[in-house]
Amino acid sequence: MKGFTAAFLIWTLISPNGGGKAWPTHTACRDGSLEVLYESCDPLQDFGFSVDECSKQLKSNINIRFGIILREDIEELFLDIALFSKGSSILNFSYPVCEDDLPKFSFCGRRKGEQIYYAGPINNPGFEVLMGEYQVLLQLYNGNHSTVACANATIICS
Ligand SMILES: *[C@@H]1O[C@H](CO)[C@@H](O)[C@H](O)[C@H]1NC(C)=O
Ligand SMILES: *[C@@H]1O[C@H](CO)[C@@H](O)[C@H](O)[C@H]1NC(C)=O
Ligand SMILES: *[C@@H]1O[C@H](CO)[C@@H](O)[C@H](O)[C@H]1NC(C)=O
């Protein structure tokens, strides 16, 4: 994980998007049987994300690292996840990350233009990732439905 912040800053500051090219593909985690790759789908910026323990037997409360420069205020922040397998929609899920009266994380309430770097647990349930390849669309947006971050990911579990 060394160099994570520096690497993320470089991704964020150097936009390859002059010619409408996609952002580079990043590895969120990889071990023997599980690999998670992601790509920013926000045309304006990239962001850094990694998972500390990568295991298909996903533990609850895993530690993640997340770094981004905020495009919007985030008094309220929501995460929408759509999971696909072989082009078919399997699951849609919406999770409130920050709410006005219930700020779950230290970065809740931060302002547009500020940089966030979060390293710590997320309150996820544990489960086993079934063998296969999955596509995931993730969208973070604030109370005004303005995009804060967007990513598409591929999960390969063998
Ligand atoms: C993200 O989506 C693009 C366009 O559909 C696709 O080419 C790319 O492989 C995807 N990246 C990941 C990491 O899933
Ligand atoms: C949402 O939009 C309103 C009206 O445009 C604005 O006053 C407010 O600051 C915005 N809130 C956020 C979180 O961006
Ligand atoms: C997920 O949402 C999309 C778009 O709204 C919809 O087409 C799809 O059927 C939903 N999938 C599930 C499993 O509910």
* pLDDT tens for the chain, residues 1 to 158: 444 555 555 555 455 555 556 899 999 999 989 999 999 999 889 999 999 989 999 999 999 999 999 999 999 999 999 999 999 999 999 999 999 888 789 999 999 999 999 999 998 889 999 999 999 999 999 999 999 999 999 999 99
Q: What's the pLDDT at 66? A: 94
Q: Per the domain annotation, does 104 fall within a domain?
A: yes
Number of structural domains in the chain? 1
Q: Per the domain annotation, does 4 fall within a domain?
A: no
Domain that holds residue 121: 21-157
Q: Per the domain annotation, does 82 fall within a domain?
A: yes
Q: Residue 131: which CATH number?
A: 2.60.40.770
Atom in ligand 3 nearest the alpha carbon of residue 90: 13
For a mutational test of ligand 3's pocket, the pick from 81, 84, 89, 93, i.e. the residue with the most ligand atoms closer than 8 A to its C-beta, is 89
Contacts of residue 147, defined as CB under 8 A and 6 or more positions apart, other chains included, come to 42, 71, 72, 139, 140, 141
Give buried/exposed letters for 45-78 (b at 16+ CB in 10 A, else e).
bbbbbbbeebbbebeeebebbbbbbbbbbbbbbb
Q: What's the pLDDT at 2? A: 44
Q: What's the pLDDT at 123? A: 87
Q: Per the domain annotation, does 8 fall within a domain?
A: no
Amino acid at 30: R
* Ligand nearest the Cα atom of residue 111: 2
Rounded-to-integer distance, Cα 111 and Cα 138, Å = 21
Q: What's the pLDDT at 4? A: 57
Q: Per the domain annotation, does 83 fall within a domain?
A: yes
Q: What's the pLDDT at 1? A: 43
Atom in ligand 1 nearest the alpha carbon of residue 38: 13
Q: Per the domain annotation, does 9 fall within a domain?
A: no
Q: Per the domain annotation, does 5 fall within a domain?
A: no
Q: Per the domain annotation, does 117 fall within a domain?
A: yes
